[in-house]
Amino acid sequence: MIVRDFNELKDGPRAVSDARWTSVRMLLADDNMGFSFHITILEAGSEHTFHYKHHFESVYCMQGKGSITDLATGKTHEIKPGVMYALDQHDKHTLRAEEELVMACCFNPPVTGNEVHQADGSYAPADS
């Protein structure tokens, strides 16, 4: 059994930051769960375009307010506590945080922790 506490990890090496977001890697590929699990915080007023071509991701809003636009359809959905979106089509999307967003994220395949966001908003495949 693995037990980890976000409040202990948020200031250590499992917390990674990029442009106006921070993500705490609660589970990574080497935990051998077959998925990874992350608590991600997006700054109030920030906007992010991501395109996970090689991963499925689900994101559950625990706190905050914002919106997500599916860039294939142009449709925008409200993000608030209790709303989950799942990128089952590797959907390219823009996420906007009106207020700071605190999200619980699952990735399949699991993130290794060594990926970086590429210029196109994707992570490289896990084996590259």
- Biggest distance spanned by C-alpha atoms of the chain: 42
**CA-to-CA separations, 9 to 5, 12, 27, in angstroms, rounded:** 6, 5, 11
- Residues of this chain that interact with a second copy (CB under 8 A) are 1-7, 26-27, 31-35, 37, 39, 56, 58, 60, 62, 68, 70, 73, 77, 82-89, 91, 93, 104, 106, 108-109
For residue 39, the minimal CB distance to a second copy (Å) is 8
For residue 66, the minimal CB distance to a second copy (Å) is 13
**Tokens encoding 10:** 């948020």
For 27, the 3-state DSSP assignment is strand
Of the candidates 125, 127, 105, the one whose C-alpha atom is nearest the C-alpha of residue 54 is 125
Q: Which is nearer to a second copy, 83 or 124 (CB)?
A: 83
Q: Which is nearer to a second copy, 34 or 125 (CB)?
A: 34
